[in-house]
Structure 1
Amino acid sequence: MTGEVAVLGAGMHPWGKWGRSFVEYGAAAARAALADAGLEWRDVGSVVGADTVRGGYPGYVAGATFAKALGWQGARVASVYAACASGAQAVDAARAQILSGLADVVLVVGADAAPKGFFRPAGGDRPDDPDWLRFRVLGATNPTYFGLYARRRMAVHGDTVEDFAQVKVKNSAMGALNPYARYRKRVTAEEVAASAVVAEPLRLLDICATSDGGAALVLSSVEFARHRGVDRPVRIRAVSTVTPRYPNTVLDLPDIATDSAVAVEPHPDTFRASIAKAAYEEADLGPEDLSLAEAYDLSTALELQWYEDLGLCEEGEAAKLLREGATTLGGRIPVNASGGLASFGEAVPAQAIAQICELTWQLRQQAGERQVAGARAGITANQGLFGHGSAVVAVR
């Protein structure tokens, strides 16, 4: 397909709490990706950095920061921020450069050094910032939101706290097999149930941590890859960065009317479902063609929601899919074979890139003990703040 680009290299810095600069993590991941690609830093024509708001000024110009760390060599540079979708947005920018002929080889890098505890809104007290408002006015920190979403699934679909715990059990078992994961210990359902309640009904082990880490990709045109002797490279076939869709927007209601005549039916697709739908349409694939998925498991309940939004099952059937073992290794459609954020924690600019690293290794049959047998196509999915969608489809 004309929109495809090749993944020549994938590299990561292990997740953890290392207490060092995000630049160190990103540079290490970049060097690993270049080594994996069999290329030198001087071969790179462009660098796209996924920004972090926690690294001071260098974090806001991550592309230039990583280029400097690797050594100035004249490469084109760009920096992208979209919160949790930053990595996918960076990949999208890199793809555009390759397809337009601006660069043959583009390095994409994301890294973070995250504080312990809540991610605070950037810039201090900001009454004009919706993130600040939900924290300070509503008291709706991220775990509160996750808990509300879990309660909704319990009320609407009959999910149970035991179902949520099984997501953690599944992901921890796969994360234990991943050398880049921060948490490499299997967790039992009893341990999840015994952990502290954070936002009812979710417990500490239902919610992902904040972490340090880095990830990088070396992307090129398919023609360049074949010229390098890579006849069957992993290819990125779609990158979805869509915004939500509404059928109508009523800006001014007459006299603040509550008349139902001005109401409209909601769009049939949720935001997350529309992210996946756009990716499938661009890739000319469907959920039935997938071998695996890497989904954004900020909480265990949210992973279940992604099953439905990715079309892996019908609405309300996510817990059933989990109970059947379909989403674990050996199942019909393993989800988060990497271990997911449950095993890594959030290093925000790096996580969407890390998901593509996992797809790359899986599609190359290089994932070791967590290998999904016969993997040929996979999708990633996450969601950034304020309408930033993110899904990537990779094939081989």
Structure 2
Amino acid sequence: MNRDIAVLGAGMHPWGKWGRNFVEYGLAAARQALADAGLAWGDVQYVAGADTIRNGYPGFIAGATFAQALGWSGARVSSCYAACASGAQAIDHARARILAGLCDVALVVGADAAPKGFFKPVGGDRPDDPDWLRFRLLGATNPIYFALAARRRMAVHGATTDDFAAVKVKNARHGLANPNARYRKEVTAEDVRASAVVADPLRLLDICATSDGGAALVLTSMEFARAHGIADPVRIAALSTVTPTFPKTVLDLPDFATDSAMTVAPPERPFRSAIAHAAYEEAGIGPGDLSLAEVYDLSTALELDWYEDIGLCEPGGAEALLRSGATAIGGRVPVNPSGGLASFGEAIPAQAIAQVCELAWQLRGRAEGRQVEGARTGIAVNQGLFGHGSAVIAVR
């Protein structure tokens, strides 16, 4: 069965701290995506919204919220929340509906107006909520476990803080030419080393910010695309949202007390690697076929882990791959040519959608100033808390 769907439109509202309602960001992105596709809002049969849980009730019903903002049209809607994988889950909903033959044109939208500083648990005191527990009992904000993962990488693979700084330098350079990036400034290794320590060994410039932003995609059946004169569109060839296998080995603090990995041999493939490899299997390709990758660089150290998780190198080889220049634009497989979270910050429900927007622009040859030469295949990956993660493979 051919599971390809077409990406006809991509749109974004620039990331930043704009002080406006998240709906404005999503609306702007949706209108851009529709214009990019050459379609009108009335052509959309299905809206998949990626939820934001920090923006009141409208954020929990994002599909209907964006449909209302665009103007009630009778389109069917869905809304979903999957932490950092929310956008990819929304893409998955739309893809499934198209492949089932229930619609030809779907709009996927995610947007956020993020609070400044560390994310906090939502909903007040909730002692049954792992997020609440890790904050209240362990004092473990997100940068704490980013730092624990970084320390592990240093101990196991010999990574240095200079390697982490080099990731930031690379991504900042990539983001210079991206009009949607929040931070468009050259960064040096000295700048990283001079920034404040947030959670040792990570400094302020090693960790992504929280941002406002929006992203949207217009997805269609291949038949619809061809009927409208687009014979060779960018296609989503695979989408993986697999969960961990027993024993769970996700490096998330809330799981430490119940993780059976302490007493049972780990699974053959760690969780993040399993996410990517399920997508490879579905698309019928391997890491060697990639032209570029968009990975979820919540911290500079985490980007190095992703190199190995998506198969760009063997475990322990990420530092050498980075130092070789292979993951910079002009290298063998550029990683985060968009600038990544290092240049954007994190707008949770929009992020996975934004990654696919970048894949679409790259594969069309429209990523001006940051174009990966001859790009034909790209992967976008991320991981949310508690077993949520995603990998999307786009081809042309």
Q: Would you call these one fold, judging by a TM-score over 0.5?
A: yes
Residue 36 in 1 paired to residue 36 in 2?
A: yes
Deviations 1:154-175 (A, max 9, x none): 0000000000000000000000
Name the SS of the counterpart of 2:369 in structure 1. helix
Within 5 A, what are the aligned runs for 1:87-236?
Answer: 87-236=87-236
Stretches (4+) displaced over 4 A: none
Deviations 1:67-126 (A, max 9, x none): 000000100010011010000000000000001111110000000000000111111111
Name 2:241's counterpart in structure 1. Answer: 241
State the distance in 1 between where 2:89 and 2:214 align: 16
Residue 68 in 1 paired to residue 68 in 2?
A: yes
Name 1:334's counterpart in structure 2. Answer: 334
**Could you tell me whether the CA contact under 8 Å between 2:47 and 2:106 is conserved in 1?**
yes
Deviations 1:179-224 (A, max 9, x none): 0000000100000000000000000000000000000000000110
Residue 383 in 1 paired to residue 386 in 2?
A: no
Name the SS of the counterpart of 1:368 in structure 2. coil
Question: What's the CA shift for 1:247?
Answer: 5.6
State the distance in 2 between where 1:392 and 1:357 align: 11
Structure 1 gaps, min length 5: 250-259
Name the SS of the counterpart of 2:381 in structure 1. strand
Question: What's the CA shift for 1:138?
Answer: 1.0
State the distance in 1 between where 2:263 and 2:12 align: 48
Structure 2 gaps, min length 5: 250-259
Deviations 1:278-309 (A, max 9, x none): 11011111000000000000000000000000
State the distance in 2 between where 1:318 and 1:214 align: 31
Residue 291 in 1 paired to residue 280 in 2?
A: no
Which amino acid in the other structure matches residue 103 of structure 1? Answer: C
Which amino acid in the other structure matches residue 208 of structure 2? Answer: C
Deviations 1:140-164 (A, max 9, x none): 1100001111000000000000000
State the distance in 1 between where 2:270 and 2:206 align: 23
Residue 273 in 1 paired to residue 273 in 2?
A: yes
State the distance in 2 between where 1:285 and 1:81 align: 29
Question: What's the CA shift for 1:248?
Answer: 9.4
State the distance in 2 between where 1:131 and 1:68 align: 32
Name the SS of the counterpart of 1:191 in structure 2. helix
State the distance in 1 between where 2:69 and 2:123 align: 26
C-alpha RMSD of matched pairs (Å): 1.3
**Could you tell me whether the CA contact under 8 Å between 2:112 and 2:212 is conserved in 1?**
yes
Greater CA deviation, 1-10 or 240-249? 240-249
**Could you tell me whether the CA contact under 8 Å between 2:294 and 2:381 is conserved in 1?**
yes
Which amino acid in the other structure matches residue 43 of structure 2? Answer: D
Which amino acid in the other structure matches residue 224 of structure 1? Answer: F
Within 5 A, what are the aligned runs for 1:311-390?
Answer: 311-390=311-390
Name the SS of the counterpart of 1:391 in structure 2. strand
* TM-score, reference length from structure 1: 0.96
Which amino acid in the other structure matches residue 316 of structure 1? Answer: G
**Residues 223 and 212 of structure 1: CA distance in aligned 2, closer, same or farther (over 3 Å):** same
* TM-score, reference length from structure 2: 0.96
**Could you tell me whether the CA contact under 8 Å between 2:84 and 2:389 is conserved in 1?**
no
How many residues align? The count is 385
Question: What's the CA shift for 1:269?
Answer: 1.0
